[in-house]
Chain A
Amino acid sequence: DVKVTQSSRYLVKRTGEKVFLECVQDMDHENMFWYRQDPGLGLRLIYFSYDVKMKEKGDIPEGYSVSREKKERFSLILESASTNQTSMYLCASSLYYQETQYFGPGTRLLVL
């Protein structure tokens, strides 16, 4: 079975802090994705990566950056956390283009 893990289930940070969210997949998938999920807005794509060191902006990249130094790991970085980044963050991976995406359990981030 595909396993996508996220470093934290719950995280509380202060405004202005630098925040790292880590995602690891164990199935040698090429593609990895970061989404955020908010009530009333649904899931929205922040960034995705189709190879090591490669990244593409999604629909809402502002205030975020990403890093993919190894194939299995994709990090989401909040350079200076703000209260409007309080959300549920979901990581996903897929083997190739247009294949099934597998999701991690999510990280619920609260920025105070």
Chain B
Amino acid sequence: KQEVTQIPAALSVPEGENLVLNCSFTDSAIYNLQWFRQDPGKGLTSLLLIQSSQREQTSGRLNASLDKSSGRSTLYIAASQPGDSATYLCAVSSGGGADGLTFGKGTHLIIQP
């Protein structure tokens, strides 16, 4: 059964720093990996989706990489801002068909002004 782990569970950094969030998964036979952000009490917002054949995806200040063979992904946030404060969730799609995602427990990120 697929398991997804995110390290660290919480992170607090000063504004302006570049930072990396980590995600690992136990079964490398994935179809894709998604990064989401969740603000307190809200739903999830999709940030980036990386297909299993891709190595990375970029959107603005965000860059996500995927190393399927080692079961790892990283989310790089450049020039962090207080508005980036949220919980970041990593999720993988492992099965065929329209099956759901397996989520990590998230990294709670605080950007200090």
Q: Which residues of A contact B (CB under 8 A)?
A: 4, 30-31, 33, 35, 40-45, 48-50, 56, 58-59, 90, 92, 94, 97-106, 108
Contacts and interface: CB of A to CB of B under 8 A. Distances in A.
B46 A102 contact: yes
A100 to B, nearest CB: 5
A107 to B, nearest CB: 10
B103 A103 contact: no
B100 A104 contact: no
A45 B51 CA distance: 21
A99 B50 CA distance: 10
Given A42-B106, A101-B101, A103-B43, 17 more contacts: A4-B43, A30-B98, A40-B105, A43-B103, A44-B103, A48-B99, A90-B44, A92-B44, A94-B98, A97-B96, A98-B31, A98-B32, A100-B46, A101-B34, A102-B46, A103-B44, A106-B43
Contacts of B43: 4, 90, 103-106
Interface in B30-51: 31-32, 34, 36, 41-46, 49, 51
Question: 5 smallest A-B Cβ distances: which pairs?
Answer: A45-B100, A50-B98, A31-B98, A103-B44, A103-B43
Interface residues of B, number: 26
A59 B36 CA distance: 20
Nearest to B100: A45
Contacts of A100: 34, 46, 49
A101 B45 CA distance: 9
Contacts of B103: 42-44
B6 to A, nearest CB: 9
Interface in B82-113: 89, 91, 93, 96-106
A39 to B, nearest CB: 9
A40 B103 CA distance: 12
A102 B42 CA distance: 13
